Structure 1
Amino acid sequence: MNKRRFATHFIAATCLTLSASAFAGGDHAHDHGAGTQAAEETAIGEPGRASKVTRTIKVSMSDKMRFEPASIQVKQGETVRFVVRNAGQIKHEMNLGTEKELLEHLEVMKKFPNMEHDEPNKVTIAPGQQGEIVWQFTKAGTVNFACLVPGHYEAGMKGKVQVSKK
């Protein structure tokens, strides 16, 4: 019984640590008013404001373990609304991040496959449903996206956003 209690506390502490580090890293959602941009910006940009959206991009996810489109072009500074539709029969998600962030989160998802996401750079979508991500791409370069439901990334469910300089 003591081993079980220790394991439960260890798992809870690990989850809290991961949650705290994600929160501290700027992966939490709220409206960004003037003066908060620097505090919220990450390596891939920052949560966008709906009022600043300059373009809507439709993304479809399928049980073929693919995103359509899998390659997206945006301009630095652009705020994009991704309307993400799950055209499949199983749950899928879209996560924006660096390759390193996505691979780290993939390992967590393997341990906690039913994890719910509340970060502005992630959306989990049930079959036949759709969701949105509003994101501002503040830095030129490559932003990766992927489905991190266990087995989906490994099957090739990933893509890239190429962010060109202003």
Structure 2
Amino acid sequence: MTWLVKTINNYLYQFFLDWLQPLRHIYLILYLLLYMAFISTTPAMAANLSGGLLKQPATEITVSLSNSANELKFEPNHLELVAGKRYQLRLTNPSQLKHYFTAKDFADGIWTQKVEAGKVEIKGAIHELELKPGAEAEWVFVPLKSGKYSLRCPIPGHTEAGMTGEIVVSN
């Protein structure tokens, strides 16, 4: 009798697991759809993203993290962007020190299409990029939220020495 009860329990347990699996997928899809509905994009931006903006060429901007003289600065240190436009940010580090491109609040207000460095392409949310000496990276994104954002290299002493900047996103 115990064997029969265990067999029935195992069968019911497996049946409910098999039955719940599709529900988990449906729940995940619904959650993602609701999340996307509450993203702070304007209808015009959403139309641009879905209507071919990603097929249009990106506006290219190059930023050097320091220079060959190892000066602690971003060149340029002021970027002006327009919300809803696609950008290709080329980051270079010609110095002999590693540096970071850190602008967390800015990164929270953009949609990243990709980051490419060497033979690696990264997709998804990016908050900061570290460039080792001589490194280059390409960040393709669309700003979604206007505002003024601070840029810095958080390595101890670099921010204090002037490795800061500003990113302005207008509508």
What is the TM-score normalised by the length of structure 1?
A: 0.55
User: Structure 1 155/37 Cα, relative in aligned 2: closer, same or farther at 3 Å?
Assistant: farther
- Greater RCO, CA 8 A, separation 6+: 1
Alignment partners' CA distance in 1, 2:157 and 2:37: 35
Name 1:91's counterpart in structure 2: 98
Higher helix proportion (structure 1 or 2):
2
Contact 1:121–1:135 (Cα < 8 Å) also in 2: no
Alignment partners' CA distance in 2, 1:51 and 1:35: 26
For residue 72 of structure 1, give the secondary structure of its aligned residue in structure 2: strand
1:72-87 to structure 2, matched below 5 A, reads: 72-87=79-94
User: Structure 1 90/56 Cα, relative in aligned 2: closer, same or farther at 3 Å?
Assistant: same
User: Structure 1 119/91 Cα, relative in aligned 2: closer, same or farther at 3 Å?
Assistant: farther
1:2-151 to structure 2, matched below 5 A, reads: 37=36, 54-62=58-66, 63-98=70-105, 120-151=126-157
Alignment partners' CA distance in 2, 1:50 and 1:148: 32
Contact 1:53–1:78 (Cα < 8 Å) also in 2: no
User: Structure 1 38/81 Cα, relative in aligned 2: closer, same or farther at 3 Å?
Assistant: farther
1:40, distance to aligned residue in structure 2 (A): 6.6
1:98, distance to aligned residue in structure 2 (A): 3.5
Alignment partners' CA distance in 2, 1:152 and 1:133: 22
Letter of the aligned partner of 2:89 in structure 1? F
Alignment partners' CA distance in 1, 2:63 and 2:153: 12
Calculate percent identity across the aligned residue pairs.
Answer: 27
What is the TM-score normalised by the length of structure 2?
A: 0.53
Q: Structure 2: where are the runs of 5+ without partners?
A: 1-31, 41-48, 109-123
Q: Compute the RMSD of aligned alpha carbons.
A: 3.4
Q: Structure 1: where are the runs of 5+ without partners?
A: 1-32, 42-47, 102-117
Structure 1 stretches of 4+ moved >3 Å: 33-41, 48-53
Larger Rg, first or second structure (1 or 2):
2
